[in-house]
Amino acid sequence: MLKSTVEFLRCPSCEDRGKLVLNHQKGDREASEVSSGNLQCQSCHKDFPILGGVALLVEDVETYLCHHVKGISKVVPEQEIPALYREAYIEAKYEWQESAREHFEEDLESERVTALYLMTHYLKASQIHSPSPVIQKVIEEYWDHGPFAQIKSWLKQDRLSVVELGCGVGGLARALESNIERYIGVDSSFASIALARHLNCGVPYPQDSFFIPDDLILGQLSRQVQIPVAVHHHRHLDFVVSDFERPPVRKGSWDVAIALNALDMVDEPKSLAKAQFDLARAGGRVIQSCPYIWHETVAEQLRKEFAKEWKGRGFQSSEIVESLYEKLGLKIKERVDHIPWLFFKHGRQLEVYSVHAFIAQK
């Protein structure tokens, strides 16, 4: 974590959302990067560890460590896990190794999932190849015109402060880098945040090249690609692990609060919309995009909530979501109904989403 990030962070745990103070145990006092140590809330005095440079701003650190063994163990040596949690962590790691369970594509810490996101976030169409003429044509036409390109066209100003909820492997920060004065990305996946920090902040990572799918007979990840790593520490970009429904960052002070393709992953979409609203400064902007692949329980809850005002009209996810944000007091400035968002699963399989996106003002 960058030392300069601390002033923008707040306690995710207490009602006061106390300021955090940094205690670091390792590294040069003068260095801008802290690889291990902790953050302590000045209000409730709770400690949040920094492991492998990643601040874990989560309510229940032990449960987080045990559930994210796979992502953490790749980057953090066991002896660096704080003594308080080490026994539980080692037990969880043992269980994970024993079962050797790869939930394949449901697991957001799995290498295959992070590889698919690395591709959509960092590779250009010219770097993706399919033997299928149809797939290759779709890639050439649409790959470079996804959500990031749209957002870049909306945010032309310089010196923006940006907070991104559910930032994943951090490609939007790179796409917007020249416009950004300060950026913090928040995501619950340790593996994604560690990769985002490596690629954007130039911090070391155990791997120096990445593998993507090609022909599955050769393995899930078989083609090596180079993704340029920031050669120096970008002192204005940082990424932390946390729950985005209670983001651990200063409220009411960001020029732009962004959540891409995350709204349909939460039990209460309204809480993510509210979190974005709270983070934006007065006059600031909120950007949301999503393919709206709702869980049935969430869809049912939204249908109920909007039943009266939507009576006699067909439900449309895009309109319902715009309405959720408008009810908070945001004014939609621009919208795009269909933006292509592509995932290259392997040479013969391309997953195509069409996302709705808007930019709204507080």
Ligand X SMILES: C[S@@+](CC[C@H](N)C(=O)[O-])C[C@H]1O[C@@H](n2cnc3c(N)ncnc32)[C@H](O)[C@@H]1O
In whole angstroms, the minimum distance from the beta carbon of 192 to ligand X comes to 5
Of 251, 227, 216, 254, whose CA–CA distance to 11 is shortest? 251
Binding of residue 14 to Zn ion (CB under 5 A): yes
Indicate which of ligand X, Zn ion, none lies near residue 243 (CB less than 5 to 8 Å, by partner kind): ligand X
Residue from 262, 275, 279, 302 binding ligand X (CB under 6 A) = 262
Of 43, 41, 62, whose CA–CA distance to 51 is shortest? 62
What 3-state class would DSSP assign to 182?
strand
> How many residues form the binding site for Zn ion (CB under 5 A)?
7
Binding of residue 111 to ligand X (CB under 6 A): no
Residue from 3, 6, 18, 132 binding Zn ion (CB under 5 A) = 18
Q: Looking at beta carbons only, is 46 or 274 nearer to Zn ion?
A: 46
Q: For the chain, where are the alpha helices, taking DSSP H only?
A: 61-67, 69-75, 83-99, 111-122, 133-142, 147-154, 171-176, 190-201, 269-279, 296-305, 317-327
Q: Looking at beta carbons only, is 11 or 339 nearer to Zn ion?
A: 11
In 3-state terms the chain splits into helix, strand, coil percentages (rounded to 5) of: 35, 25, 35
In whole angstroms, the minimum distance from the beta carbon of 324 to ligand X comes to 17
Q: Looking at beta carbons only, is 13 or 288 nearer to Zn ion?
A: 13
Indicate which of ligand X, Zn ion, none lies near residue 244 (CB less than 5 to 8 Å, by partner kind): ligand X
Q: What is the spatial distance between Cα 161 and Cα 178, in angstroms, rounded to a whole number?
A: 12
In whole angstroms, the minimum distance from the beta carbon of 13 to Zn ion comes to 5
Q: Looking at beta carbons only, is 117 or 277 nearer to ligand X?
A: 117
Q: What is the spatial distance between Cα 358 and Cα 362, in angstroms, rounded to a whole number?
A: 13
Indicate which of Zn ion, ligand X, none lies near residue 114 (CB less than 5 to 8 Å, by partner kind): none
Site for ligand X in 185-244 (CB under 6 A): 187-189, 192, 243-244
Instruction: Measure the CA dihedral 247/252/256/261, to 10°.
Output: 30
In whole angstroms, the minimum distance from the beta carbon of 312 to Zn ion comes to 48
Helix axes 111-122 and 190-201, enclosed angle (nearest 10): 40
> Quick one: which H or E segment has residue 3?
none
**Sheet with strand 20-24: strands edge to edge:** 20-24, 37-41, 47-51, 54-57, 237-242, 180-187, 160-165, 254-260, 280-290, 349-361, 331-346
Q: Looking at beta carbons only, is 14 or 216 nearer to Zn ion?
A: 14
What 3-state class would DSSP assign to 284?
strand
Residue from 71, 168, 284, 347 binding ligand X (CB under 6 A) = 168
Residue 51, beta-bridge partner list: 54
Binding of residue 108 to ligand X (CB under 6 A): yes
Show the tokens assigned to 175: 């796409």
Indicate which of ligand X, Zn ion, none lies near residue 41 (CB less than 5 to 8 Å, by partner kind): Zn ion
Indicate which of ligand X, Zn ion, none lies near residue 44 (CB less than 5 to 8 Å, by partner kind): Zn ion
Q: Which residues bind Zn ion (CB under 5 A)?
A: 11, 13-14, 18, 41, 43-44
By the criterion CB under 6 A, which residues form the site for ligand X?
Answer: 108, 117, 166-168, 187-189, 192, 243-245, 260-262, 265
